[in-house]
Structure 1
Amino acid sequence: MTPPRFQTFDDPSHAKGPERIEALRAALREIGADGFVVPRADEHQSEYVPANAERLAWLTGFTGSAGLAVVLADEAALFVDGRYTLQAPEQVDTGTITVVPLAETTPEAWLGTHLKPGQTLAYDPWLLTPDGVARLERAALKAGASLRPLPDNLVDAVWAGRPRPPAGRVVAHPDDLAGETVPEKLARIRAALAEGGIDTLVISDPHNLAWAFNLRGADIPHTPLALGYALVPREGRAALYLTSQAIDADLRTALEPLADLRPRSAFAEDLAGLCKNAARVRLDAATGAAALKDRVEAAGGVADVGADPITAMKAVKNAAEIAGTRAAHHRDGLAVTRFLAWLDRAAAEGVSEIAAVEALEDFRREGGGLRDVSFPTISGSGPNGAIVHYRVTRATDRTAQPGELFLIDSGAQYADGTTDITRTVAVGTPTEEMRDRFTRVLKGHIAIARAVFPEGTTGAQIDALARISLWEAGLDYDHGTGHGVGAFLSVHEGPQRIAKTGTVPLKPGMILSNEPGYYRSRAYGIRIENLILVETRAIPGGDRPMLGFETLTLAPLDRRLIDPVLLGPAETAWLDAYHARVRATLSPDLDRSTRDWLEAATRPLGEDAA
């Protein structure tokens, strides 16, 4: 029997958008409020959320991974970042909801001019952080309005048929893949708490929960997480709060020596009990809900809102995690290379976006070890490729035409690592403009890959390297250049990133993406993405500790899209060396036909293509 696919291609519908907005307004009138904030979030501020938390998508039709709606009595607005400025207007009823790019105005600025004196803006304190609430408070104050936290979410009250909360099975992540036991991790966490004068840590980030207790779950799509909480006191036993039916007898036996296993429903009461004698409780600024701060303070504790120390620990991969990631990328590189060879042949006959998604998943399954895709594959031909986070549906599916570009951004979850790769390929003969733009993106990609920098350098300092060649031509892109990546965890993992907002110093062992791009609206999109590992670099004659990147991803780039004249000698040398490594590493495990294709696809740039 063929296993079910990890992706579906259902069509998001905004046909009921006006009806649902009006139902929400009716609920607002019933409680005497004038507006409601609907973030794309769950109680853990997750990027990918379970079906029962897809409130923003249900209400508006917008399916992006980030966004926030504000519904007032006579108007509604949806705020999206640069990834979704093209997608959002296609998905929502713009006669009912105004799409507002964050680059133009923030929700707080909009509320400052749209709320009226004396009005009340309601919100769900489980779906916003304390900082998020503080920003709303400042906006309301500016408008002469007030905020009102609600005990129950208003969208839930009008959402007929809302899915039940998830209760996926929780399993142990083997110590040989984790590279560190749970007692060792808890000892490190407690040392950090002692150093910071913290009595108890609330683990609200499911990624940190998974890392700290070497667990993996199945509560949300594409990321192996169990949704729950943990309390880790500086002294004494930790307590773990998960859905009881998700823990089988074997896992219970393994966990009970390490922590008290408590039902998730007991978390709020237990948290209040720890707050006696003005205990200092660390709440994660990124994922700790405002409701947690309210409960700590109501119980007499001190809510210390700051960074969960686990986040920084998790970001630096140990030797076992790095070895696993390299193995995963070898396996994934074989699958992607087989797919690219297939796509090259199939495109000549006409290949649809959905067919490409399904073929790539099939190649990954055949390679063995595939647990899931790490996010919904972005498969965009021609104009759809210009939508940065485009997700193909049966309504938008199109067949690539000669003279177009095909962008495919995908990743996989394996027990030993998480992958993320983007390749842009030519269908037929590309235009000179396409080759120019692709080569400029490639120059930026190579600049990041070749970068050498001193310890303490942040992603913001590196980000410009990827953009210089585009800037020289008056071009740019509206997303970051790189995000952190987990080890069989989230494909988007902080705190490290290569972006204008990347303020965290890069450290050896961190994994990031390297993905500059260029997008011509309604024409084509270009992105080149490999994953990279921060490593130490010894510079002869240097007097400072230096770092650089190892490229982990193994798959060829489309030589037909490269204009060699635009590349300098060092850039050409890097590309030829990368292709030689791809060829030498993957060829022994490929079938003859794919091996021959790869040989031609990775020829030195100075040679004519086969």
Structure 2
Amino acid sequence: MYQVFDETGAPAESGERVKALLRELKQRQLKGFLVPHSDQHQNEFLPPSEERLAWLTGFTGSAGVAVVAENGSALFVDGRYILQAPKQVDTDLFEVLQIPKAKPSEWVKEKLARGNRLGYDPRLHTISEIERLTKTLSAAGIRLTPVDDNPIDKIWGKDRPSPPRAEIFMQPLEFAGKGSGEKLMQVQMDLVEAEHDAVLLTAPDSICWLFNIRGADIKHTPVTLAYAIVPAKGRPTLFIDPQKIGESVRIALKPYTEIAAPEALDEALTELAKSGAKVRLDPGSASMRFASVLQAGGAKHVSGDDPCTMPKAIKTDAEQAGARAAHLRDGAAMARFLAWLDEVAETGRIDEVSAAMKLEDFRRETGQLKDISFDTIAASGPHGAVVHYRPTTESKRVLDKNNLFLIDSGGQYADGTTDVTRTIAVGKPTAEMKRHYGLVLRSHIAIAAARFPAGSRGQDLDPFARGPLWAAGLDFDHGTGHGVGSYLSVHEGPQRISRLGTEELEPGMILSNEPGYYREGQYGIRLENLVLVTPAEQIEGGERKMLGFETLTLVPFDRRLIDPKQFLPWELAWLNDYHARVREKIEPLIASEDRPWLRHATAPIR
């Protein structure tokens, strides 16, 4: 299995660990310390050796930050985790607060006095994050102080897992669509135009995209942990653990890059600084430590976007074709799973863990699954209201009869990454469940069918997905959609559909479309497909060409939860057209015994 179902947090040990941290801070004359969920690459998902926040607090979500101080501690999470966090941490130790309603900086100003020092590990925070926090805290007379070594690592000691050293492999050109040489030329042209001498790349997915390599240093995300310096002219250098490179990969990379150990990176940056080179760092993804290394060498970094981010987000023709192929086989696996689930869901023998395992089995049987794309969210009844609930052997529930089952999952294939969520009725749904499901499905259709002009941003489209819910006095506390990589991270920027989505959407970008509704203590509903931004086209009778979306995911919605009276005629037409396409594409790929289920699941709704 690619997924394990053990509890990974340790809230019972948090008390002693916090006490040990406070003793260490006292020796360093620090009144508090920041503990983010991040590593030196600012990854969302972390290798076990970097899970400091989970080790200290017990919280296992993919985003959050704790502040530990002499007179109290707090854990800050966003709306996805506001129900999960209090169940995982000792709330007598950590006050759980939701951002952006609560801000860590304001909490710190209340807890620390003028002249106090708040410590942080500069490897784990971005440049822009520290610059903002420094400005805010300085006004209150609080000094933000970097540490050379993380006190948590000292306390963790020999029990801390070793860093990952998975061997890297090449991503074939047939799936990448562009060779590394062409990509390097594109990046170097960006640097020349900006009059920058070099860029330091710190994001693993950028580095893997640039050199057409993949790895396995992070669970479910096929990246390697490495750095790269790309000069405006000349050969780049890839800084990577030599144990990760086999001879065939070394030969493949030789025409494009030099290879050095990560320990050589500081010296290389210092030499660039001493030469007066303008070295670009992305303030939103590069850690503060690298800015400090350049400054110590006598030069201030120049700020600029990671030059790989946008070309990586805009998929090549080969990547788009790969995404379609991946979604075909993934849709067939999902159809087999949903047909199986309909047979067994009401038996009382299926729980959240066994359902997640069965879905992984169906994906494995495609013969092309490399990994799942994230830990499956399999949530029955009230667990569905916990947005990023992860079932464990301790928490698992049998699928509740006459309730809802939410399953959010995805696969990693060499030609694409998938992410799909369906909410399924187990037994007979209530009228209220059907009403809420209908509102979420209408919100989903609003995005899927949207037409919008060039220059539109994710924040411009986000209200489309909330309109039906807002009209009913409802909402959801997460973004509507995130970017998705090509056999890379299932969460990719800069594209996203949310209130914070300021990046313009461009043809070739892949995003999720996943509105939801969550009733605490009862059930959750989320419906997610991946969509591809399509080129602008003329609309009959219109005056301007409009972009749109191609829905990549091919999985039926649950007919038992659809009341056609809730929908406008054009919404039902979209739904029936979608189901007809699912049936046409998926039926040839599944066994004859599952085809009657698919035909029923995709039959026209009137």
Taking structure 2 as the reference length, what is the TM-score of the superposition?
0.98
Question: 2:539 maps to which residue?
Answer: 539
CA distance in 1, matches of 2:130, 2:587: 54
Q: Is 2:10 the partner of 1:9?
A: no
Q: What letter matches 1:82 in structure 2?
A: G
Q: Note the 1:210-221 alignment, pairs <5 A.
A: 210-221=208-219
CA distance in 1, matches of 2:445, 2:131: 41
Q: CA deviation at 1:209?
A: 0.1
Q: Secondary structure at the match of 1:275?
A: helix
More divergent stretch after superposition (96-105 vs 56-65): 96-105
Give structure 1 stretches of 5+ with no counterpart: none
Checking the alignment, whether the CA contact within 8 Å between 1:111 and 1:143 is kept in structure 2 is no
Q: Note the 1:12-411 alignment, pairs <5 A.
A: 12-160=9-157, 161-350=159-348, 351-411=350-410
CA-to-aligned-CA distance 1:452-511 (integer Å, 9 cap, x gap): 111010110101011111111100000000000000000000000000111111000000
CA distance in 1, matches of 2:76, 2:465: 27
More divergent stretch after superposition (27-36 vs 521-530): 27-36
Checking the alignment, whether the CA contact within 8 Å between 2:5 and 2:353 is kept in structure 1 is no
Q: CA deviation at 1:216?
A: 0.1
Q: Is 2:416 the partner of 1:417?
A: yes
Q: Secondary structure at the match of 2:494?
A: coil
Q: CA deviation at 1:6?
A: 3.3
CA-to-aligned-CA distance 1:385-435 (integer Å, 9 cap, x gap): 000000111111000121110000001100000000000000101011100
CA distance in 2, matches of 1:435, 1:285: 45
Q: Secondary structure at the match of 1:83?
A: helix
Question: 1:592 maps to which residue?
Answer: 592
CA-to-aligned-CA distance 1:116-139 (integer Å, 9 cap, x gap): 122111100000111111222133
CA distance in 2, matches of 1:265, 1:381: 47
CA distance in 1, matches of 2:579, 2:4: 31
CA distance in 1, matches of 2:420, 2:215: 24
Q: Secondary structure at the match of 1:99?
A: strand
Question: 1:476 maps to which residue?
Answer: 475
Q: What letter matches 2:595 in structure 1?
A: R
Checking the alignment, whether the CA contact within 8 Å between 1:45 and 1:286 is kept in structure 2 is no
Q: What letter matches 2:377 in structure 1?
A: I
Q: What letter matches 1:225 in structure 2?
A: V
Checking the alignment, whether the CA contact within 8 Å between 1:115 and 1:143 is kept in structure 2 is no
Fraction of identical pairs, as percent: 50
Checking the alignment, whether the CA contact within 8 Å between 2:72 and 2:111 is kept in structure 1 is no
| Runs ≥4 residues deviating over 6 A | none
CA distance in 1, matches of 2:590, 2:602: 14
Q: CA deviation at 1:264?
A: 1.1
More divergent stretch after superposition (536-545 vs 369-378): 536-545
Question: 1:556 maps to which residue?
Answer: 556
Distance 1:11 1:146, change over 3 A: closer
CA distance in 1, matches of 2:213, 2:284: 21
CA distance in 2, matches of 1:37, 1:233: 34
Checking the alignment, whether the CA contact within 8 Å between 1:115 and 1:140 is kept in structure 2 is no
Q: Is 2:428 the partner of 1:429?
A: yes
CA distance in 2, matches of 1:75, 1:428: 47
Q: Secondary structure at the match of 1:494?
A: strand
Checking the alignment, whether the CA contact within 8 Å between 1:244 and 1:264 is kept in structure 2 is no
Checking the alignment, whether the CA contact within 8 Å between 1:28 and 1:35 is kept in structure 2 is yes
Q: Secondary structure at the match of 2:492?
A: coil
Question: 1:574 maps to which residue?
Answer: 574
CA distance in 2, matches of 1:286, 1:213: 22
Checking the alignment, whether the CA contact within 8 Å between 2:415 and 2:486 is kept in structure 1 is yes
Q: CA deviation at 1:7?
A: 3.2
Q: Secondary structure at the match of 1:487?
A: coil
Q: CA deviation at 1:302?
A: 3.1
Q: CA deviation at 1:34?
A: 0.9
CA distance in 2, matches of 1:574, 1:419: 22
CA distance in 1, matches of 2:541, 2:188: 41
Q: CA deviation at 1:542?
A: 3.2
CA-to-aligned-CA distance 1:299-323 (integer Å, 9 cap, x gap): 1223012211210110000100000
CA distance in 1, matches of 2:274, 2:323: 44
Checking the alignment, whether the CA contact within 8 Å between 2:346 and 2:399 is kept in structure 1 is no
CA distance in 2, matches of 1:184, 1:70: 44
Q: Is 2:483 the partner of 1:503?
A: no
Q: How many residues in Structure 1 have an aligned counterpart in Structure 2?
A: 603
Q: What letter matches 2:236 in structure 1?
A: A
Q: CA deviation at 1:11?
A: 5.1
Q: CA deviation at 1:179?
A: 0.3
Q: CA deviation at 1:93?
A: 0.2
Question: 2:460 maps to which residue?
Answer: 461
Q: CA deviation at 1:79?
A: 0.3
Q: What letter matches 2:470 in structure 1?
A: W
More divergent stretch after superposition (206-215 vs 4-13): 4-13
CA RMSD of aligned residues (A): 1.0
Checking the alignment, whether the CA contact within 8 Å between 1:11 and 1:394 is kept in structure 2 is no
Q: CA deviation at 1:104?
A: 2.2
Q: What letter matches 1:348 in structure 2?
A: E
Q: CA deviation at 1:436?
A: 0.4
CA-to-aligned-CA distance 1:280-310 (integer Å, 9 cap, x gap): 1111122200000011121122301221121
CA distance in 2, matches of 1:302, 1:111: 29
Q: Secondary structure at the match of 1:425?
A: strand
CA distance in 2, matches of 1:580, 1:49: 40
Checking the alignment, whether the CA contact within 8 Å between 2:127 and 2:284 is kept in structure 1 is no
Q: CA deviation at 1:162?
A: 0.3
Q: CA deviation at 1:543?
A: 3.1
CA distance in 2, matches of 1:284, 1:409: 32
Taking structure 1 as the reference length, what is the TM-score of the superposition?
0.98
